[in-house]
Structure 1
Amino acid sequence: MTGLPRHVVAERAARAAETVRQQPCPRCGADTLVARTTDRVAAVDVRADPTPVDPATAPAGRLLWCLVQHEHIGDRIRWRDRWHATACTHPVLADHTCPPRPIQESLL
């Protein structure tokens, strides 16, 4: 029995990694969206909060991503660069940041 050619396996793996999927954060358990970006320079693994944000009032210090919804290839997360942001009509997502942990009272 022969397997698929390596280039076909690699292409399918890349497509699966780029597909947006819902996954709990391993640290805090919050619902997040994860995917690998397909940007020109480098692929980046992204974990973003699933609720879209208003880019004008987005929290400072967090990276913003566009959730591009495509009829034929499905949803993709895209880097929100300054050229894309000027004409963007996609939902905007912010990088996931775990909420602060409650302060544990020391036992006396």
Structure 2
Amino acid sequence: MDEKLAKLMEYLQMETEIPFEEFKSYYSGVIELLNKEYNEMDQSTLLKAKYICSIVQANAESRSHRSKINGKHFKKMASKCGFWSDAIDFRLKKEGLSQDEIDAAMSQFNKQSEE
């Protein structure tokens, strides 16, 4: 997940949007990683995954409204990222983290992305 987070931070620094195929490839890699390794992820990795899913979800939702050609694809991506974000939230809370702690971690990632 570290590699995916590093790539996301790189994307967030860009002035232009990445092309659909690159977005789709990144999204697919994240989902594949979650499908394979979710059960073995520790809290730190889960927090990274939640941040990635929330950013990809927001971007996919935004793009779904602007893209006539790929709108349905973006909506599907946003939905799946929302599912994973909720699942990660549920698990983190089950493991003892409060919503405030989760939110604080997300804020920290946002600060890192702005640097």
- Specify the TM-score bucket, using the shorter chain as the normaliser: under 0.3
Q: Which has the larger share of strand?
A: 1
Q: Which has the larger share of helix?
A: 2
Query: Using CA pairs below 8 Å that are at least 6 residues apart, which structure has the higher relative contact order?
Result: 2
TM-score calculated relative to the size of structure 2: 0.23
Structure of higher CA gyration radius: 1
TM-score calculated relative to the size of structure 1: 0.24
